[in-house]
Amino acid sequence: MPATDTSRSTTTASIGGQEPPLRVAVIVGSVREGRLGRTVTDWFLDTAAAQGEDMEFDVIDAAEVPLPLVMPGWGGKPSPEAAAALRDLTPRIAAADAYVVVTPEYNHSFPAALKNLIDWHHGEWQAKPVGFVSYGGLAGGLRAVEQLRLVFAELHAMTVRDSVSLHGPWSGLTADGTPRDAAVCEGAAKGMLGQLSWWGRALRSANTALPYRG
């Protein structure tokens, strides 16, 4: 089953009408049954729409990407199953100017399916910024985010400082999926998106002038 394209746009007029919107891939990292990943993602997208940033969002759901765990050796070719999944997935990751990863925390870390999706790619992440929306328990997924920062640093990506953390979503989210402490969470989203926008545009311009060679 190929990843579903659920692109959403929150575009406003660019300065001088010349710069295109920032293309942001939003990656839903949880594949567990009964997960809150899509609920949290929908809240984030609605919140982002209200911020007025000039961005276009493409939701990539790890649960809809049938990537196998077995990878080919160096120089080898992906299996037909993997090639079919990557045919749709890889161009979308490559086309993004920036990323937002929505992740829970599993055993003080991030989901294996999310790491697998990341590991099937390399150059696509380089010289692009990554923001995080995390959720789960008292820590709000922050331990998963700190470990993901190490992963993306190895891939030559730039993680933005501020993140959005939803603590205890089982009691901290209302029935419609919005945080009970909406003002705090929306403020965090605004800060993260502002940093993601700045870095995304700066790195896109830099790569246009001089392609990154990691």
Torsion angle of alpha carbons 192, 198, 201, 205, nearest 10°?
A: -140
What is the domain partition of the chain in residue ranges?
Answer: 8-15+25-209
- CA terminus-to-terminus distance, the chain: 33
Instruction: Give pTM, 2 decimals.
Output: 0.90
The pLDDT value given to residue 17: 52
Residue-wise pLDDT tens digits, 118-128: 999 999 999 99
The pLDDT value given to residue 110: 97
Q: Is the pLDDT of residue 74 over 50?
A: yes
The pLDDT value given to residue 7: 59
Residue-wise pLDDT tens digits, 133-189: 999 888 889 999 999 999 999 999 999 999 999 987 667 777 777 788 889 999 999
CATH H-level superfamily of 8-15+25-209? Flavodoxin domain (3.40.50.360)
The pLDDT value given to residue 214: 80
72-97: b (≥16 Cβ within 10 Å) or e: eeeeeebeeebeebbebbeebbeebb
* pLDDT interval class at 83 (50, 70, 90): very high
The pLDDT value given to residue 2: 47
